[in-house]
A and B are shown apart, each in its own frame.
Chain A
């Protein structure tokens, strides 16, 4: 069936370095993608989103890249800080008119001081 998955379950990055978290999706009809950050004991927090008519979108210290050809999504975090340590989820939805979000399994990012 259709699914969204992450390549790496864990990632450790030195503080100040850049990090890249990857996500693969299988639904070719997906047209809206979201990255969420979840800290321990909290709900997923919206970071950045991108629509399928875009390849790249930038926020504050974060960039999302979308490659529709290979159905791949990535989240780049620049100059990582200890507060970036969390689990990151990608989520997607398709243009079939429903509002379901399909979430990936998550990547745990640990920033090493």
Chain B
């Protein structure tokens, strides 16, 4: 099992630039989650999808953030324009069924630094 694959692993860019984070969930998993982790706020759920459909995006901080899941094997999280306060580690996770029954499996994250 390849696990959840995220790219890039590290991203450093200047504020104002567009940032796109990518995620490939585990094959056969139909739920996908995007999280942000910072020292101050810990792990925060940003948005999650079931069967490629966004279910809850209440954690998305502002309109600068958007996420898509065009098919079952790919999702993107985009920040435009980026700001220094967006610096964090962004994780993608997937689960085979509803999270209340099955644990979410995480990728190794994208460490994002906005200068």
Q: How far is the CA of A33 from the CA of B2 in the complex (A)?
A: 25
Q: Which of A16-24, A60-68, A70-78, A99-107 contacts B (4 or more CB under 8 A)?
A: A99-107
Chain B residue nearest to A45 in the complex (CB): B106
- How many residues from A make CB contacts under 8 Å with B? 23
| B106 in contact with A31 (CB, 8 Å) | no
Given known A-B contacts A100-B48, A101-B45, A105-B42, A41 and B99 have beta carbons under 8 A apart: no
Contact B106 A99 (CB under 8 A): no
**B5-56 CB contacts (< 8 Å) to partner A:** 31, 33, 42-43, 45, 48, 50, 55-56
Residues in B with CB closer than 8 Å to A36 are 106
B56 touches A98 (CB 8 A): yes
Report the nearest A residue to B58, measured CB to CB: A100
A94 to B98, CA, bound (A): 11
Q: Which residues on the B side are within 8 Å of A98 (C-beta)? A: 55-56
Binding site for A on B (CB under 8 A): 4, 31, 33, 42-43, 45, 48, 50, 55-56, 91, 93, 95, 98-101, 103-109
